Amino acid sequence: MAASGSLRVEALSKNYLPPGCPPVPVLHGVSLAFAPGDYVAVMGPSGSGKSTFLALLGCLDTPSGGHYWIDGDDVAGLDSDALSALRNRVFGFVFQGFHLLPRATLLDNVALPMLYAGRSRRERHARAAELLAQVGLAGLERRYPTQLSGGQQQRVAIARALANRPAWLLADEPTGNLDSHTSGEIMAIFDRLNAEGLAIVLVTHEADIAAHARRLVRFADGQVIEDRPLDPAAATAESAP
Amino acid sequence: MFTTLIAEAMRSLGANTLRTLLAMLGMIIGVAAVVLMLAVGEGSRLRVAETIATLGRDILNIYSGTPAVAGVRTAAGSAPTLTRADADAIAQLESVQAVAPAHYGNTQLQYGGSNWSSSVFGSTPEFSEVRNWEVASGAPLDDGDLRTAAQKVVLGATVAENLFGDASPLGKMLRIKGQPYEVIGVFRPKGSNLDGRDQDDLVWVPLTAAQGKLFGNPFPGTVRFITVKASAESGKGVAERDITALLRQRHRLPADAENDFSIRDITASAESAAQAAQAMSVLLGAIASVSLLVGGIGIMNIMLVTVTERTREIGVRRAIGARRRDILLQFLLESLLICLTGGVLGAGLGVGGAWVAAEFFDTPVVVDLRTAVAAFGFSTAVGLFFGYYPAHRAAAMQPVEALRTA
Q: A196: domain CATH number?
A: 3.40.50.300
The reply to whether B310 touches chain A by the CB within 8 Å rule is: no
- Shared domain check, A152 and A78: no
- Shared domain check, A227 and A143: no
B335 has a pLDDT exceeding 60 = yes
DSSP 8-state assignment for residue B156: -
- Shared domain check, B275 and B400: yes
Strands A24-34 and A7-16: antiparallel
A139 has a pLDDT exceeding 60 = yes
Would B207 be classed as within a structural domain? yes
- Shared domain check, A135 and A204: no
Of A126-130, B26-30, B240-244, the least confident: B240-244
Amino acid at B209: A
Say if CB B371 and CB B350 are below 8 A apart. Answer: yes
Which of A107, A136, A165 is the last residue before a domain boundary?
Answer: A165
What is the number of domains present in chain A?
2
Strands B179-187 and B225-230: unpaired
A213 has a pLDDT exceeding 80 = yes
Enter the ipTM: 0.90
B272 class by beta-carbon count within 10 Å (0-12 exposed, 13-18 middle, 19+ buried)? exposed
The reply to whether A63 touches chain B by the CB within 8 Å rule is: no
Of A91-95, A198-202, A207-211, B260-264, the least confident: B260-264
- Shared domain check, A201 and A147: no
- Shared domain check, A128 and A77: no
Look up the domain containing A159 and give its range. Answer: 92-165
Q: What is the pLDDT of residues B342-398, one digit of tens each?
A: 888 988 888 888 888 877 776 777 777 777 787 778 888 888 888 898 999 888 888
- Shared domain check, A85 and A32: yes
The whole-number pLDDT of residue A1 equals: 40
- Shared domain check, B384 and B280: yes
Best residue of B1, B320, B403 to probe chain A, by most A CBs closer than 10 Å = B320
- Shared domain check, A125 and A76: no
Say if CB B387 and CB B299 are below 8 A apart. Answer: yes
Contact criterion met (CB < 8 Å) for B324 and A80: yes
B87 class by beta-carbon count within 10 Å (0-12 exposed, 13-18 middle, 19+ buried)? buried
Cα-based distances in Å from B260 to B159, B228, B245, B333: 35, 17, 12, 72
Would B368 be classed as within a structural domain? yes
DSSP 8-state assignment for residue B255: T
- Shared domain check, B124 and B14: no
pLDDT over 70, % of chain B: 93
- Shared domain check, A76 and A5: yes
Would B237 be classed as within a structural domain? no
Query: What confidence tier does A40 reach under pLDDT thresholds 50, 70, 90?
Result: very high
Of A18-22, A113-117, A173-177, B302-306, the least confident: A18-22
Q: What is the pLDDT of residues A41-50, one digit of tens each?
A: 999 998 888 9
CA distance B24 to B298: 9
The whole-number pLDDT of residue B62 equals: 84
Overall average pLDDT of the B289-297 stretch: 86
- Shared domain check, B393 and B322: yes
Say if CB A142 and CB A105 are below 8 A apart. Answer: yes
Which of B171, B199, B230 is the last residue before a domain boundary?
Answer: B230
Closest chain B residue to A158 measured between Cα atoms?
A: B320
- Shared domain check, B381 and B293: yes
Query: What confidence tier does A193 reach under pLDDT thresholds 50, 70, 90?
Result: very high
The whole-number pLDDT of residue B281 equals: 79
CA angle B331, B334, B339 (to 5 degrees): 130
Closest chain A residue to B316 measured between Cα atoms?
A: A99
Which of B170, B200, B230 is the last residue before a domain boundary?
Answer: B230
The whole-number pLDDT of residue B195 equals: 66
pLDDT over 90, % of chain B: 2
Sign, Cα dihedral of A187, A188, A193, A198: positive
The reply to whether B404 touches chain A by the CB within 8 Å rule is: no
The whole-number pLDDT of residue A143 equals: 92
Q: Chain A: nearest CA to B313, how far in angstroms?
A: 7
Would B258 be classed as within a structural domain? no
Query: What confidence tier does B318 reach under pLDDT thresholds 50, 70, 90?
Result: very high
Would B222 be classed as within a structural domain? yes
The whole-number pLDDT of residue B383 equals: 85
- Shared domain check, A78 and A58: yes
Closest CB to B320 among A55, A61, A93: A93
Q: Which residues of chain A does B402 touch, with a Cβ-Cβ cutoff of 8 Å?
A: none
Query: What confidence tier does A113 reach under pLDDT thresholds 50, 70, 90?
Result: very high
pLDDT over 70, % of chain A: 94
Which of A133, A165, A197 is the last residue before a domain boundary?
Answer: A165
B269 class by beta-carbon count within 10 Å (0-12 exposed, 13-18 middle, 19+ buried)? middle
Query: What confidence tier does A2 reach under pLDDT thresholds 50, 70, 90?
Result: very low
- Shared domain check, B214 and B155: yes
Would B91 be classed as within a structural domain? no
Look up the domain containing B369 and give its range. Answer: 2-52+271-404
- Shared domain check, B133 and B48: no
Best residue of A56, A98, A99, A100 to probe chain B, by most B CBs closer than 10 Å = A99
CA distance B160 to B162: 6
Which of A113, A138, A165 is the last residue before a domain boundary?
Answer: A165
Q: What is the pLDDT of residues B266-276, one digit of tens each?
A: 777 777 777 88
Q: What is the pLDDT of residues B184-218, one digit of tens each?
A: 888 888 877 666 678 888 888 888 888 877 777 66
What is the number of domains present in chain B?
2
The reply to whether A142 touches chain B by the CB within 8 Å rule is: no
Closest chain A residue to B402 measured between Cα atoms?
A: A60
- Shared domain check, A52 and A3: yes
The reply to whether B316 touches chain A by the CB within 8 Å rule is: yes
Q: What is the pLDDT of residues B3-48, one digit of tens each?
A: 777 887 887 787 778 888 888 898 898 888 888 888 888 887 787 7
B406 has a pLDDT exceeding 60 = no
- Shared domain check, A187 and A83: yes
The whole-number pLDDT of residue A241 equals: 40
- Shared domain check, A60 and A24: yes
